C-alpha cells in the first residue's frame, strides 16, 4: 500500500459519478487504473495504490471491454475485485502490432494528447497526421511537442511542417531537459487534467515526464546518432500524478500505429483535401487525371503537398479495412456467445 488520493485528484468528475447507482455509491469503491500489466492492474483510490489480478472472466471479453490504463473501475465493497468498468469520456484504440488484426486500447479518459516527435530525421509528417487523426476521432485536444530543439540548427522548419498537418493544432518546440523552458506545455497541465504522451521511442517522452514532475519518474535513453532510431526506455503504460495536480500517462514508443474506427478523424484531419474536392468539376472525381480536378490543380500550384493526398487515401483505406475486419470478429464473437448460452440453457433443462 502506498500513498492515498482523493478521487478528484485522479480526475473523477460528474460524468463518472452519474453512472453509479445508489447501491454502488453506498457499497462500491471507484478507483482509477494507473498501470496495466499481464498479471493484472494497479489501481489508485482513497485507500492507496495496489496491484489487483484480473479474474479469468475479463479475458473472455473483447479487449476494448477490459480495464485499460486511465479507466475508472468500480471495485467490490472490500476493494479486492473489479466489478465493472465505467463508461469512458474518450478512448484511444489501435490495431495491435503484428499480422493478426486485434484491437488494443492505448488509453482511456484522456483530455489532451501530447504527440511527441523530434527535430531531426525521426520527424515524419505522415506519422504525425496519423496520430492527429486518432486524437480528433477520440474528441481529444492534440498538442504537438517538438523535442531536441537544442540539438537542431533550424527548428523553424519542423514547426512549419507540424503546423501544416492541421490548421488548428497547437505546437510547442522545446528542450525537454530544460524544465524552465516548459511553461508553454504546463498551460495544459492543470489539476485533474489527464494528458497522454505518445510518439516513437527515444523522442523524449520520459524526459519530458521527468522534467514536468521534477523527479525521475521514468528511465531515459536517447536516439542513436547513426540512424536517429530511438531506444525503448518505457516498458509499460503508467499514469503519474504531477506536483501541480495534472495526470500524465506515459507509454512505450509506438513505431506502428494501425488505425481503426477512425473515418471521421481522418476526414477532419484532411479537411483541406475534402474542401478542394468540393470544387472539382465532377462529383465522383478520383483526383487522378480527370479534367477540372481542383485537388490536382492545387498540387500543381504548390498549394497542396502530393504526399498529403497519398496519406489521406492510405489512412482511409487502412481504417476501412481494419474496421471491417474487427466488425467481422465482433459478429463471430457474438454468434459464439449465443451458441454457448443456448448450449448451457439446454443442458440446464435436461438436468
Which domain does 12 fall in, by range?
8-87
11: region left, alpha or beta (phi > 0 left; psi from -120 to 50 alpha): left
pLDDT score, position 229: 47
30 φ, ψ to 5°? -70, 145
256 within a domain of the structure (yes/no): no
Instruction: Answer yes or no: is 257 within a domain.
Output: no
- Rounded CA-CA distance 81/66 in Å is 13
Instruction: Flag whether 115 is in a domain.
Output: yes
Does any domain span residue 348? no
Gap between the Cα atoms of 128 and 198, Å rounded: 10
Identify the CATH number of the domain in which residue 268 sits: 1.10.40.50
Same domain, 283 and 176: no
The whole-number pLDDT of residue 169 equals: 93
**305 in a domain, yes or no?**
yes
Q: Render each residue's pLDDT in the chain as its tens digit; 351 residues.
A: 467 789 999 999 999 999 999 999 999 999 999 999 877 899 999 999 999 888 888 888 888 899 999 999 999 999 989 999 999 999 998 876 556 657 788 899 999 999 999 999 999 999 999 999 999 999 999 999 999 998 888 999 999 999 999 988 999 999 988 888 899 999 999 999 999 999 888 888 888 999 998 765 554 444 444 444 444 444 567 899 999 999 999 876 555 678 888 899 999 999 999 999 999 999 999 998 899 999 999 999 999 999 999 999 999 998 888 887 776 766 565 665 566 565 566 656 665
* Judgement on whether residues 135 and 227 belong to the same structural domain of the protein: yes
> Could you tell me if 25 and 159 lie in one domain?
no
Domain count within the chain: 3
* 351 domain residue, yes or no: no
Instruction: Answer whether residue 255 is part of any domain.
Output: no
- Total-model pTM: 0.82
Note whether 106 and 221 are same-domain residues.
yes
The pair phi, psi for residue 138, each rounded to 5°, is -80, -5
- Pairing type for strands 247-250 and 238-241 reads antiparallel
Considering the domain architecture, whether residues 72 and 126 belong to the same structural domain is answered as no
Final residue of a domain: which of 33, 63, 87? Answer: 87
On whether both 237 and 112 belong to a single domain, the answer is yes
pLDDT of the residue at 225: 45
* CA dihedral sign, ordered 303, 305, 308, 310: positive
Looking up cell 438436468 gives 351
Taking the C-alpha atoms of residue 39 and residue 237, their distance in angstroms, rounded to an integer, is 14
Mark whether 185 and 201 lie in a shared domain.
yes
* CATH classification at residue 60: 2.40.50.140
Among 42, 64, 87, give the residue marking a domain's end.
87
- Answer yes or no: is 318 within a domain: yes
pLDDT, position 231: 47
Check: CB of residue 10 under 8 Å from CB of residue 3: no
pLDDT at 351: 59
236 and 135 belong to one structural domain: yes
Distance CA 277, CA 293 (A): 8
Q: Which three cell numbers stand for residue 275?
A: 474542401
- Domain-ending residue, one of 201, 223, 250: 250
Co-location of 146 and 270 in the same domain: no
Shared-domain flag, residues 311 and 287: yes
Residue 341's pLDDT is what? Answer: 60
* pLDDT value of position 252: 67
Amino acid at each position: 500500500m502506498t500513498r492515498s488520493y482523493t478521487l478528484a485528484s485522479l480526475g473523477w468528475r460528474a460524468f463518472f459519478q452519474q453512472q453509479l447507482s445508489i447501491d454502488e455509491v453506498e457499497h462500491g469503491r471507484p478507483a482509477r487504473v494507473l498501470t496495466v500489466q499481464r498479471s493484472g492492474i494497479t489501481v489508485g483510490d482513497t485507500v492507496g495504490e495496489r496491484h489487483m489480478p484480473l479474474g479469468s472472466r475479463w479475458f473472455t471479453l473483447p479487449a476494448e471491454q477490459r480495464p485499460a490504463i486511465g479507466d475508472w473501475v468500480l471495485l467490490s465493497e472490500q476493494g479486492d475485485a473489479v466489478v465493472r468498468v465505467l463508461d469512458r469520456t474518450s478512448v484511444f484504440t489501435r490495431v495491435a502490432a503484428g499480422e493478426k488484426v486485434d484491437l488494443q486500447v492505448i488509453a482511456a479518459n484522456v483530455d489532451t494528447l501530447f504527440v511527441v516527435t523530434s527535430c531531426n530525421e525521426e520527424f515524419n509528417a505522415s506519422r504525425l497526421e496519423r496520430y492527429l487523426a486518432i486524437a480528433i476521432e477520440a474528441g481529444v485536444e492534440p498538442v504537438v511537442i517538438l523535442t531536441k530543439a537544442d540539438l537542431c540548427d533550424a527548428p523553424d522548419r519542423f514547426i512549419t511542417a507540424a503546423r501544416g498537418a492541421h490548421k488548428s493544432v497547437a505546437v510547442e518546440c522545446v528542450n525537454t531537459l530544460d524544465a524552465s523552458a516548459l511553461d508553454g506545455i504546463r498551460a495544459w497541465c492543470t489539476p485533474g487534467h489527464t494528458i497522454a504522451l505518445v510518439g516513437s521511442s527515444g523522442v523524449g517522452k520520459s524526459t519530458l515526464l521527468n522534467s514536468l514532475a521534477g523527479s525521475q519518474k521514468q528511465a531515459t535513453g536517447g536516439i542513436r546518432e547513426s540512424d536517429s532510431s530511438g531506444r525503448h526506455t518505457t516498458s509499460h503504460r503508467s499514469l503519474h500524478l504531477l506536483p501541480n495536480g495534472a495526470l500524465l500517462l506515459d507509454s512505450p514508443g509506438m513505431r506502428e500505429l494501425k488505425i481503426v474506427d477512425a473515418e471521421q478523424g481522418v476526414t477532419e484531419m484532411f479537411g483541406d483535401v475534402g474542401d478542394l474536392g468540393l470544387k472539382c468539376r465532377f462529383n465522383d472525381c478520383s483526383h487522378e487525371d480527370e479534367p477540372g480536378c481542383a485537388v490536382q490543380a492545387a498540387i500543381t500550384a504548390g498549394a497542396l503537398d502530393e504526399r498529403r493526398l497519398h496519406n489521406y487515401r492510405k489512412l482511409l483505406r487502412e481504417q476501412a479495412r481494419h474496421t471491417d475486419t474487427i466488425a467481422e470478429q465482433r459478429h463471430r464473437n457474438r454468434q459464439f456467445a449465443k451458441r454457448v448460452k443456448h448450449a448451457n440453457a439446454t443442458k440446464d433443462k435436461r438436468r
